[in-house]
Structure 1
């Protein structure tokens, strides 16, 4: 029995009565389940690596960035590195928009037609059960997410679980709705990432591209483990600056924020108009 209003929609073989509220509830449950599984699996992998000191199965690359600090080497920053980082920050919206179009428009169509549409068509052509082939296609689709660039890499099981609704929709012939669900999943992921980015920026005192006149600290050991020097703005805010001398006053440009610290580099008079 469905709940909520029902509508009749076209399918591959005719029409089908669906309950939008039930589909929405199923989507929410599977999405949350996939996210919880992702976090649980990464936690387990992290503790196994931390306890054993090895990552035989390549789990190190799957660890969340918040947990990698104990295991990776110290990262140092030069002026060139910070300039590149500022350029990366300034182009962030452009990159996010392009990636959003690929993720929300192109990827759902290509992936659904390839990994579920292909098996569905094969099952119809051969006259065999659709479920085994659709499951196999979904498993392959989920596994390929483990081959993504490290930042976007996900585990096979969480991705497979999040795609169960699309698999079901293919089974009942609602291929177009499966594509929309896939697009909705990707849209939520892109929106959450963008929101997290801006939330972190909102929490910091500094924004990329801002300029300050700072005085470099000459009382503490310099530079720090990142190769940076601690400096203070007239408002006594702290910036970590590359390639400066203790005790000097200089004009700097903020490149990025890492954790709760602003990272900046000195600028010349000719570079202040950039």
Structure 2
């Protein structure tokens, strides 16, 4: 049975992508964030993204962006999520924030509603412990940009039921995606490897081993990567990178996850990457 109504919590880069993808696959979406200003910005970005996507898919008949946007309800009120059959949470990688969000969701949503955490590193089992429905909590780690990435890293928490996994896979199929199911561990598979790679690449810049463009070029030309680690960092957001590596450092108590001081300095300076207009690159110009 098709899932009709999906809640999306968080209108940042990932939340915008998830909401857009859902609306483009004929789902009714309830996008929730803390301010009207954030939601207004999200609405404009989704509209621009749809038009941009249509520009590159000229051979396909594109749906009117306004029709797609009409399927998304933008709100600061969690109360509207009471009608959601499935909720995808995309809040920042801070446990105190996530814990509060799940307490609200647990109180508002029907008992049968599945909650999916679109998290980079936080334990799905820990998230489940913040609710009264641990069997209905699953990790769904989407890749950016969401509408263009066909694969999702799915994470089974300790209590996640087979029924929840089946429901999550069905929703992904409706979105035109597949899921690879892995077990719960901080950082899971993708970010346990990727965050170390990015963090070490930033150490290379700090230690003046190579320039930004040289580091990225080595990965693209020697290994065939579409993007280098520092370009990837700018795409994800350096603040998100720092949050994720700090979670890994705290979780494993292993010095190999120590955040690079240069990464901390850039985040303190507001150099978050693409979303702030400045990171390791400024409009493709290395700093």
TM class, shorter-length:
under 0.3
Higher-RCO chain (CA-CA 8 Å, sequence separation at least 6): 1
Larger Rg computed on CA atoms: 1
- Give TM-score, length-normalised by structure 2: 0.21
